[in-house]
């Protein structure tokens, strides 16, 4: 039998209003008791008595048994969520940065206080990837989880490759449509997908990784030279987070632009849509596709979590509790395309092998294999305005025999 949920909602922006639209369109056994907002002077469509700027009015209300946290501030979200869990209230959150940075503590709080934290809306909008990793793949051996996790950067890249827009023009369109912030670095710099990747890795492999340990290089330095190179080779460039098992006990993670081939599922994922590929030992390759941004798609994921709480659903973190001793490694060689200006960068990165090289007055690039550890160590140099790097899809684990992999074989 489902429980009657009394909800305290934090945040009434795009996702909060999208959630309310969906709730009002259905007959559900739940009620929004109070909504916490920042600006009490802003005009609202609901009765003003429903709103408050005092967090305690929600967190200390015994009538409220469920907290839905939908604010942008990760630090404030952390304070709200931890207080709620400690008081025995169940929580639904969409704050990927807060969850990724504090997941170990949040799991411990749930176990200690008998509360539940769900966060499907924090990863890939409307795609139910967390629930699938948690339930469908709970006893599956996963080779890799990767995809397009950020709708803003994908929108920009779609406009560039499909409509021929310049990067700055495409970014402005994304900002005007609300897909990208005024300062878009969290999206185009690969931070947003990095947080999402950390969460997905926890459910896929039972490995809780500090996001600071995951390499993230974005698309902010993409130039006309890189676009022309990709088009000539019949590639598209997509920003792809990847978690891949490279041995029985080791997982590698990174967020990098990727030269995507036509036979890759992700090649035709466009605009604000997301796509997730799961490569499994027994289920083989499976693909999830859906909108990764917007009030209604993300609101639908949030409502799915709220509905699950009516039946006391909790994440079990089975792979984490199995103590399989899976560790995080950077011990792989990645084949990359690197556009650069300073020859010293090639020496500093210490390429293991270079298979292609081009040099002209306006444009220099190499294609070759380089250690992921070297990319991590020299990340700041790779953020220089004259540098763009993209993963080709070929990866080699250093401690095993080196096996050549074609693009088609390496698509994940």
Q: Which two tokens stand for residue 173?
A: 């369109």
How many domains does the chain divide into? 2
Within this chain, do residues 67 and 145 fall inside the same structural domain, yes or no? no
The answer to whether 7 touches 30, Cβ cutoff 8 Å, is yes
Distance, CA of 197 to CA of 131 (rounded, Å) = 15
Q: CATH number of the domain at 180, please.
A: 3.30.360.10
SS3 of 25, please? coil
Looking at residue 406, its pLDDT comes to 36
Q: Active-site residue among 196, 245, 291, 319? A: 196
Residue 53 domain flag: yes
Within this chain, do residues 21 and 50 fall inside the same structural domain, yes or no? yes
Within this chain, do residues 137 and 95 fall inside the same structural domain, yes or no? no
Residue 367 domain flag: yes
Within this chain, do residues 37 and 177 fall inside the same structural domain, yes or no? no
Buried b (16+ CB within 10 A) or exposed e, 130-143: bbbbbeebeeeebb
Q: What is the pTM of this model?
A: 0.93
* Domain C-terminal end among 63, 91, 118: 118
Looking at residue 270, its pLDDT comes to 97
Q: CATH number of the domain at 48, please.
A: 3.40.50.720
Note if 249 is an active site residue: no
Tens of pLDDT, residues 172-193:
999 888 788 778 999 999 999 9
Looking at residue 398, its pLDDT comes to 57
Least confident of 5-19, 27-41, 201-215, 222-236: 27-41
Within this chain, do residues 143 and 265 fall inside the same structural domain, yes or no? yes
CA angle 367, 185, 236 (to 5 degrees): 40
Distance, CA of 203 to CA of 21 (rounded, Å) = 30
Mean pLDDT across 230-255: 96
DSSP 8-class letter at 121: G
Tens of pLDDT, residues 78-99:
999 999 999 999 999 999 999 9
Within this chain, do residues 156 and 33 fall inside the same structural domain, yes or no? no
Within this chain, do residues 180 and 273 fall inside the same structural domain, yes or no? yes
Tens of pLDDT, residues 17-60:
999 999 988 878 899 999 999 988 888 888 888 999 999 999 99
SS3 of 193, please? helix
Residue 80 domain flag: yes
Q: Which residue has the tokens 């001793």?
A: 325
- Nearest-Å Rg of the Cα atoms of the chain is 22
Residue 276 domain flag: yes
Tell me which residue range forms the domain holding 381: 130-296+325-410
Within this chain, do residues 211 and 72 fall inside the same structural domain, yes or no? no
Within this chain, do residues 107 and 193 fall inside the same structural domain, yes or no? no
- Distance (Å) of CA 356 to CA 9, 62, 380: 55, 66, 24
Looking at residue 397, its pLDDT comes to 66
Looking at residue 47, its pLDDT comes to 85
Within this chain, do residues 146 and 212 fall inside the same structural domain, yes or no? yes
Within this chain, do residues 143 and 39 fall inside the same structural domain, yes or no? no
The answer to whether 294 touches 272, Cβ cutoff 8 Å, is yes
Within this chain, do residues 109 and 165 fall inside the same structural domain, yes or no? no
Q: What is the share, in percent, of the chain residues with pLDDT greater than 70?
A: 96
Residue 306 domain flag: no
Looking at residue 28, its pLDDT comes to 81
- 216 forms beta bridges with 255
The torsion angles phi and psi of 44, rounded to 5 degrees, stand at -120, 155
Distance, CA of 254 to CA of 326 (rounded, Å) = 17
Mean pLDDT across 55-72: 96
Residue 208 domain flag: yes
* Domain C-terminal end among 68, 88, 118: 118
* Domain C-terminal end among 66, 97, 118: 118
Residue 167 domain flag: yes
- Distance (Å) of CA 290 to CA 276, 300, 320: 9, 12, 27
Residue 313 domain flag: no
Mean pLDDT across 289-310: 92
Looking at residue 325, its pLDDT comes to 81
Tens of pLDDT, residues 101-148:
999 999 999 999 999 999 999 999 899 999 999 999 988 899 999 999
Looking at residue 401, its pLDDT comes to 39
């Amino acid at each position: 039998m489902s429980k009657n949920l009394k909800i305290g909602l934090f945040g009434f922006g795009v996702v909060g209003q999208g959630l309310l639209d969906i709730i009002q369109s259905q007959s559900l056994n739940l009620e929004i008791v109070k909504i916490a907002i920042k600006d009490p002077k802003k005009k609202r469509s609901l009765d003003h008595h429903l709103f408050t700027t005092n967090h305690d009015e929600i967190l200390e209300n015994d009538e409220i048994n469920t907290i839905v946290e939908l604010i942008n501030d990760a630090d404030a979200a952390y304070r709200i969520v931890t207080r709620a869990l400690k008081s025995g209230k169940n929580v639904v959150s969409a704050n990927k940065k807060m969850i990724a940075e504090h997941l170990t503590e949040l799991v411990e709080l749930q176990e200690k206080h008998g509360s539940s934290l769900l966060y499907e809306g924090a990863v890939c909008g409307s795609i139910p990837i967390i629930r699938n990793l948690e339930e469908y793949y709970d006893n599956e051996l996963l080779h890799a989880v990767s995809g397009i996790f950020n709708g803003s950067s994908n929108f920009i890249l779609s406009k560039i490759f499909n409509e021929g827009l310049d990067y700055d023009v495409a970014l402005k369109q994304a900002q005007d449509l609300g897909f990208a912030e005024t300062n878009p670095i969290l999206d185009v710099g690969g931070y947003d997908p990095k947080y999402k990747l950390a969460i997905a890795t926890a459910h896929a492999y039972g490995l809780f990784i500090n996001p600071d340990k995951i390499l993230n290089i974005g698309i902010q330095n993409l130039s006309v030279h890189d676009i022309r190179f990709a088009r000539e080779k019949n590639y598209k460039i997509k920003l792809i987070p990847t978690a891949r098992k490279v041995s029985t006990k080791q997982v590698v993670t990174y967020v990098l632009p990727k030269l995507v081939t036509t036979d890759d599922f992700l090649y035709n994922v466009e605009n604000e849509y997301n796509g997730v590929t799961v490569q499994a030992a027994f289920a083989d390759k499976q693909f999830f596709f859906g909108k990764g941004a917007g009030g209604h798609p993300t609101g639908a994921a949030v409502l799915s979590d709220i509905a699950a709480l009516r039946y006391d659903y909790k994440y079990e973190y089975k792979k984490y509790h199995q103590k399989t001793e899976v560790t995080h490694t950077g011990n792989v060689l990645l084949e990359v395309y690197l556009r650069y200006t300073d020859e010293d960068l090639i020496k500093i990165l210490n390429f293991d092998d270079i298979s292609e090289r081009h040099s002209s007055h306006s444009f220099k690039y190499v294609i070759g294999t380089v250690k992921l550890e070297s990319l991590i160590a020299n990340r700041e140099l790779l953020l220089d305005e004259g540098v763009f790097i993209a993963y080709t899809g070929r990866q080699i684990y250093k401690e095993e025999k080196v096996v050549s992999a074609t693009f088609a074989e390496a698509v994940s």
